[in-house]
Structure 1
Amino acid sequence: MEYLNCLLVIDDDHDIRLSLQDALEMEGYHVATASSGREALESLEHGLRPDLILLDLMMPDISGWAFRSWQRAHPEFASIPVVVVSGQGLSPPEVARLGVDGYLAKPLDLDHLLDTVARFVPPSHQPGVASW
C-alpha cells in the first residue's frame, strides 16, 4: 500500500516514536511506525513503500545497522532514502559506511528534523495517518 508523503519511523522507544509521529503528522505527512527492526522489515515485505525512513540504530532485536544492511541488499528497498536518528554519536566515516542520506543526533531539534525530512519529502499540509 502506498501513500504520498509517507514516512516510516523505526524506533524502539515508544515516547520518541509517538513524538516523531505527532510532529510529522502535524506537518501533513502520513507516518507509519515500527517499534523494532523486525517489525519494519515485515512492514516493507508486506507492501509498505515509504518515501523516507527515519531509523534508530540501537534496537533490541534487529539493530538499525542490521536493518540497513538488509535494506541495501534488497534492490526493491535499497533506493528508499534513510536518515539515521540516534543518540549514539556517529562519526562521518560511520555515517558513510551506513550509506545513509542523513544523520540527526538525539535529542532532536524539531526545526532541524522538519527541514531534513522536507529535503526528501515535501509536506502535503493535509494531515493523515498510515497505520501498519
Structure 2
Amino acid sequence: MSHDASIIVCDDEIDLAHEIGEFFQGHDWRVLVCGTAEAARKALLAGFAPQCLLTDLRLNEASGADLISFARQLPPYLRPRIFALITGHAADPEVASLGADLIFFKPADPFDILSDLERLTREPGTTSELPPA
C-alpha cells in the first residue's frame, strides 16, 4: 500500500483476530488487535485513530454494532473513516441496520476484506464522515 493504512481488528476469537491482524501487517498496514470492545474503545479514546475498524458482530461482552455506534460518535480526529463488520450470522436481523460501510460473512476471504478496505481508503469521503444515525 502506498499510503499509511491502519486498522483495529476486534474479535473475541483472539486467534482469528491475530490471524487477520498478521495478514494486514503483511500488506503494510498498521494494526491493533483487540479481543474486546472495551479494549478497542480505550485504544480509540487514547488517540489510535485508524482508517478502518473491523469488528465481529457478536463479541463476548458487547455487540460490534455498539462498538461501531460508539466510534461513530467520536470527534472526527479520533473516528475511523471506514467501519467494517464480520459475522457468522447472516440471518441476524441486526445485520441490516448496523451502519457498517462493509459487511463480511464468515468464513471471509482476507484478500476480499483487504481489497474492499484498500478501495475505500483511496476514495475521498465515506459514509462514516456523516453524522451518527
Q: Which deviates more from structure 2 when the two are superposed, residues 5-14 or residues 71-80?
A: 71-80
Task: Tell me what 2:102 maps to.
Answer: 102
Retained in 2: the 8 A contact 1:84–1:100?
A: yes
Q: Map 1:39-78 to 2 at 5 A.
A: 39-76=39-76, 77=78
In the other structure, the counterpart of 2:87 is 86
Moved over 4 A (4+): 93-96
Measure the CA separation in 1 of the matches of 2:111 and 2:4. Answer: 22
Q: TM-score, normalised by structure 2?
A: 0.78
Structure 1 position 48, deviation (Å): 0.5
Stretch deviating more after TM superposition (11-20 or 72-81): 72-81
Gaps of 5+ in 1: 123-132
Alpha carbons of 1:35 and 1:75: their partners in 2 closer, same or farther (altered >3 Å)?
same
Q: Which moved more, 1:28-37 or 1:67-76?
A: 67-76
Greater relative contact order (CA < 8 Å, ≥ 6 in sequence)? 1
CA drift at 1:42: 0.4
Aligned length: 119
Query: Which stretch of the first structure deviates more once superposed, 61-70 or 76-85?
Result: 76-85
Verify the 8 A CA contact 1:52 1:120 in the aligned structure 2: no
Q: Give 3-state SS (helix, strand or coil) of 2:67's partner.
A: helix
Q: C-alpha deviations, 1:55-101, integer Å up to 9, x for none?
A: 1111122221211222233343556310101112157x744521111
Partner Cα distance (1:25, 1:74) in 2 = 25
| Partners of 2:8 and 2:50 within 8 A in 1 | yes
Describe the superposition over 1:11-54 as per-residue Cα deviations: whole angstroms up to 9, x where unpaired: 11111111101111111111111111110000001011000111
